[in-house]
Amino acid sequence: MRIDAIPATLSSREAPLKNAEAACTSQRQSHEALEKKKKDKEIEIEELREKAKKLKQRSSEVKNNKEYQAHLKEIEKGEEDLKTAEDVLLSLMESLEESSRRLKEEAARAAGEKTKVEAVRKDLEGEVQQRERELKELKEQRKKLVSRIEEGLYVLYTNIMKSSRGLAVVEAKNEICQGCNLHIPPQMFVEIKANDEIVECPQCRRILYYMRPEEEAPHTAGAGNA
């Protein structure tokens, strides 16, 4: 794996975690909203109970039958409001119980996804360290190789690297440049196969080399005894 591809790999592995965390956050917000409604409803019930208590205490102050009937209706209305509020509170408590269960599930899912991501992150960090060690070794080897190359040839190589997106040397195969897929003239291909001099592709200017197939390799053993 390329080092520069690791962030994208980690990001793709983090997607399930982000989804789980978003679901957990959403569930937590819903749970907190239900808790607030429950608290508000409990306050409302206490106020309704206090109101009902005061209404009953005022019964002795009623002076005539008309006022008494109106007072009874007010008490009945207060009791109905109280019962309705208590029913709503019971429903809220049941919803909170279910919400609490779902919140625990979402939190557990998020924790599980986080554990997976941490494991992947640890593996990728180890891979980065390995790649960096390999890169350091390659750079050391490159320094040694560069010191053995003629200055003019090295300048040519670096210039091609800059103009060819980091690919300066490519194979010539079946009279085709593997860098730009241009057809190579037969005479030029013969020169490339000889591997005696530096030959550049006439199209992309990359340096061409020829990889001799095994069946074309010169036979040195047993040739004189045939």
What confidence tier does 221 reach under pLDDT thresholds 50, 70, 90?
Answer: very low
Give me the sheet containing 176-177, strands edge to edge.
176-177, 169-173, 207-209, 199-200
Determine the average pLDDT of the residues in 70-84. Answer: 92
* Per-residue pLDDT, 218: 53
User: How many other C-beta atoms are found inside a 10 Å radius of the C-beta of residue 154?
Assistant: 14
Using the predicted structure, report yes or no on whether residue 62 has a pLDDT greater than 80: no
Which two tokens mark 180?
């730009």
Using the predicted structure, report yes or no on whether residue 145 has a pLDDT greater than 90: no
User: How many other C-beta atoms are found inside a 10 Å radius of the C-beta of residue 116?
Assistant: 13
What confidence tier does 85 reach under pLDDT thresholds 50, 70, 90?
Answer: very high
* Per-residue pLDDT, 222: 44
Alpha-carbon distance 109 to 19, whole Å?
Answer: 10
* Per-residue pLDDT, 226: 34
Using the predicted structure, report yes or no on whether residue 200 has a pLDDT greater than 80: yes
State the CATH number of the domain containing residue 51.
Answer: 1.10.287.1490
Which two tokens mark 11?
């990001």
Cβ atoms 34, 99 nearer than 8 A:
yes
Determine the average pLDDT of the residues in 45-49. Answer: 96
Which two tokens mark 179?
């860098």
* Number of folded domains that form the chain: 2
Using the predicted structure, report yes or no on whether residue 225 has a pLDDT greater than 70: no
Residues 112 and 211 in one domain: no
Instruction: List the end-to-end C-alpha distance of the chain, in Å, as a whole number.
Output: 50
Residues 21 and 108 in one domain: yes
Residues 33 and 92 in one domain: yes
Domain encompassing residue 161: 151-215
Residues 95 and 188 in one domain: no
The H helix count followed by the E strand count for the chain is: 4, 4
Residues 130 and 96 in one domain: yes
Q: How many residues are present in the chain?
A: 226
Torsion-angle region of residue 178: left (phi > 0), alpha (psi -120 to 50) or beta?
alpha
Using the predicted structure, report yes or no on whether residue 68 has a pLDDT greater than 50: yes
Candidate ranges 4-13, 15-24, 125-134, 205-214; pick with highest mean pLDDT? 15-24
Residues 101 and 124 in one domain: yes
Alpha-carbon distance 59 to 173, whole Å?
Answer: 109
* 47-56, 104-113, 149-158, 188-197: least confidently modelled range: 149-158
Using the predicted structure, report yes or no on whether residue 90 has a pLDDT greater than 50: yes
Decide which of 142 and 51 is more confident: 51
Q: Is 3 helix (H, G, I), strand (E, B) or coil?
A: helix
Note the pTM of the prediction, 2 decimals. Answer: 0.56
Decide which of 169 and 62 is more confident: 169
φ, ψ of residue 208 to 5 degrees: the values are -105, 145
The H or E element that residue 172 is part of is: strand 169-173
Distance of CA 4 to the CA centre of its chain: 15
